Amino acid sequence: MLDRIECDVLVVGGGVNGTGIARDAAGRGLKVVLCEKDDLGAHTSSASSKLIHGGLRYLEHKEFRLVRKALREREVLLQSAPHIMWPLRFVMPHDAGQRPAWMIRAGLFLYDHLAKRDFLPGSRGVRLDRHPAGAPLQPAFRRGFEYSDGWVDDARLVVLNAVDARERGATILTRTMCGHVQRGPQRWEARLADLHGRRIDVSARCLVNASGPWAETFQRMAVGTPSDVPHALRLIKGSHIVVPKLFDHPYAYIFQHPDGRIVFALPYERDFTLIGTTDVDFTGNPGDAAIGADEVGYLCELASRYFAQPVTPASVVWSFAGVRPILEDASRSASAATRDFRLDHDTNGAPMLTVWGGKITTFRKLAEQAVDWIAPALGHEAPAWTEHAVLPGGDLFGAQPSKRSVLEFETWMRGRQLRYPWLSQGQLLRYARSYGTRMAKVLEHVRGLSDMGPEIVPDLYAAEVYYLMTQEFAQTAEDILWRRTKLGLHVPPGSVEVLERWMRKEAS
């Protein structure tokens, strides 16, 4: 039982930035503790548009540095976890009411060439009356453009960073609140408490504030708000809706509203289409963020402008909202505010690093830059390493990242079919995409479905639940059905309660 821990680095916040920093620091030999007041990735990091992308729309705001940085990271990330990330081709329908075609072609040319592409194809113009992506659209859309970006299972990305951090020696404490910190000349003294009231005292040489939309609140609690960072964060709510699938092809869409805002329509979980996002200034507790009826109406209206099949609020089967911590840059509109990040270094006593802003695509680079400062500040010299490492399960064809893992995922899948012939095609694909090579651990000692234990809810067997509870920090049915897997979209009503009862019984 943990009562007191001494460590080099205490990371507060279990989103993608916090877990990324914990992983990088642990991999450089630092002793790390991470605490998260809820589940890993429970808020902003699991409420994204699920994209690894350079941010095509940021070009019109002249954010060339951010786009270049994100484009460079895009292929690094795709190779690091090819089971939970993969290339995705986007189609942008065009009509006379939008920017001139020559201007869009110029923007796409810049997007193709701002950073080196090793294996992603470039952009091109398309005739929508001859392209698979044209069939579901309104017949008025006859021409468009096609370009490359990537997809990511955002919640699993967070968990895999935490798993890797733990395997490299970090202590990961979920549902554990950091309620008090006190700074000394050399160390921070922090008081943590879990859901059961157990107190854990942590003495750390460095404190990392990676609490996302709560970063400003936590900083005030820790040291007060420095005068040179007034109103550093702008909180922006992004909401998404999920509807029954509107198309059968593998392409995604990027739609432009007449007001200039961008919305994506993405293939999602085989049977659905994900539509989002909105950009709405937010006040209040980020943990209470929820989609508003006006946002649902806005997304439905925009989607219906493009799709031949109307999208209405009655079509929505699920929705989610998250609050993004955006660097305050005096932009007039939320959609124009920068998605770049800033790292603040405070050495007025024991060192503290605060993360402001950021986006999923640049999380690894953010973490690397953070630890590039933390390690020397603690007198610890160790080189950066994550650019050439895979995340757990990503070693499909060896321990090093490779474009082969991205381009030949189907080849690797055929090998799993031979090894697990008793799995249905749907089960095999879900396990492969969720766990990669770690599916061997999920299915350890399993020779058939009869060895998987009871099927607790449809397609969820005890063997997988045990793995998620013991290896991936899952504590509740919500953790499992909505973040570790997306089975919540596929199981019948009442499944959360059924799984919760089963988990409580097993824990007793």
218 and 344 fall within a common domain: yes
* Per-residue tens of pLDDT for the chain, all 508 residues: 568 999 999 999 999 999 999 999 999 999 999 999 999 999 999 999 999 999 888 888 788 898 999 999 999 999 999 999 999 999 999 987 778 889 899 999 999 999 999 999 999 999 999 999 999 999 999 999 999 999 999 999 999 999 999 999 999 999 999 999 999 999 999 999 999 889 999 999 999 999 999 999 999 999 986 545 544 678 999 999 999 999 999 999 999 887 778 999 999 999 999 999 999 999 999 999 999 999 999 999 999 999 999 999 999 999 999 999 987 655 555 555 556 889 999 999 999 999 999 999 999 999 999 999 999 999 999 999 999 999 999 999 999 999 999 999 999 999 999 999 999 999 999 999 999 999 999 999 999 999 999 999 999 999 999 999 999 999 999 999 999 999 999 999 999 999 999 999 988 7
114 and 195 fall within a common domain: no
- pLDDT at residue 258, rounded to an integer: 76
Rounded to whole angstroms, the maximal C-alpha distance in the chain is 68
Sorted by sequence, the CB contacts under 8 Å of residue 312 that are 6+ apart come out as: 300, 304
DSSP summary character for residue 501: H
Please say which residue of 336, 363, 398 terminates a domain: 336
343 and 332 fall within a common domain: no
206 and 262 fall within a common domain: no
- pLDDT at residue 333, rounded to an integer: 55
Q: Please report whether residue 79 resides in a domain.
A: no
Say what the alpha-carbon torsion angle 339, 281, 264, 495 is, to the nearest 10 degrees.
Answer: 110
Cis peptide bond upstream of 44, omega within 30: no
CA distance 220 to 231: 12
3-state SS class at 79: helix
Domain span including residue 22: 4-44+155-230+339-388
- pLDDT at residue 199, rounded to an integer: 95
- For the domain that residue 454 is a member of, what is the CATH number? 1.10.8.870
Q: Please report whether residue 185 resides in a domain.
A: yes
CA distance 38 to 15: 10
- pLDDT at residue 329, rounded to an integer: 58
Say what the alpha-carbon torsion angle 420, 399, 474, 292 is, to the nearest 10 degrees.
Answer: -100
- For the domain that residue 289 is a member of, what is the CATH number? 3.30.9.10
259 and 138 fall within a common domain: yes
Q: What is the 3-state secondary structure (H, E, C) of 170-219?
A: CEEEECEEEEEEEECCCCEEEEEEECCCCEEEEEEEEEEECCHHHHHHHH
Buried b / exposed e over 347-364, threshold 16 CB at 10 Å, is eeebbbbbbbbbbbbbbb
Please say which residue of 311, 336, 361 terminates a domain: 336
- pLDDT at residue 227, rounded to an integer: 46
Q: Are strands 455-457 and 176-183 parallel, antiparallel or unpaired?
A: unpaired
pTM score, two decimals? 0.96
- pLDDT at residue 240, rounded to an integer: 98
Buried b / exposed e over 226-239, threshold 16 CB at 10 Å, is eeeeeebbbbbbbb
139 and 239 fall within a common domain: yes
Q: Please report whether residue 382 resides in a domain.
A: yes
178 and 107 fall within a common domain: no
3-state SS class at 455: strand
- pLDDT at residue 498, rounded to an integer: 98
353 with 344: CB under 8 angstroms?
yes
Q: Please report whether residue 76 resides in a domain.
A: no
3-state SS class at 263: strand
DSSP summary character for residue 390: P
250 and 285 fall within a common domain: yes
Q: One-letter amino acid identity for 205?
A: R
- For the domain that residue 179 is a member of, what is the CATH number? 3.50.50.60
Q: Please report whether residue 61 resides in a domain.
A: no
135 and 266 fall within a common domain: yes
Q: Please report whether residue 400 resides in a domain.
A: no
242 and 126 fall within a common domain: yes
13 with 210: CB under 8 angstroms?
yes
Rounded to the nearest 5°, which phi and psi values hold at 332? -70, -35
Tokens 């690091």 found at = 80
458 and 435 fall within a common domain: yes
Q: Please report whether residue 34 resides in a domain.
A: yes
CA distance 195 to 174: 9
DSSP summary character for residue 231: T
CA distance 205 to 85: 35
Number of separate domains in the chain: 3
145 and 161 fall within a common domain: no
Q: Please report whether residue 53 resides in a domain.
A: no
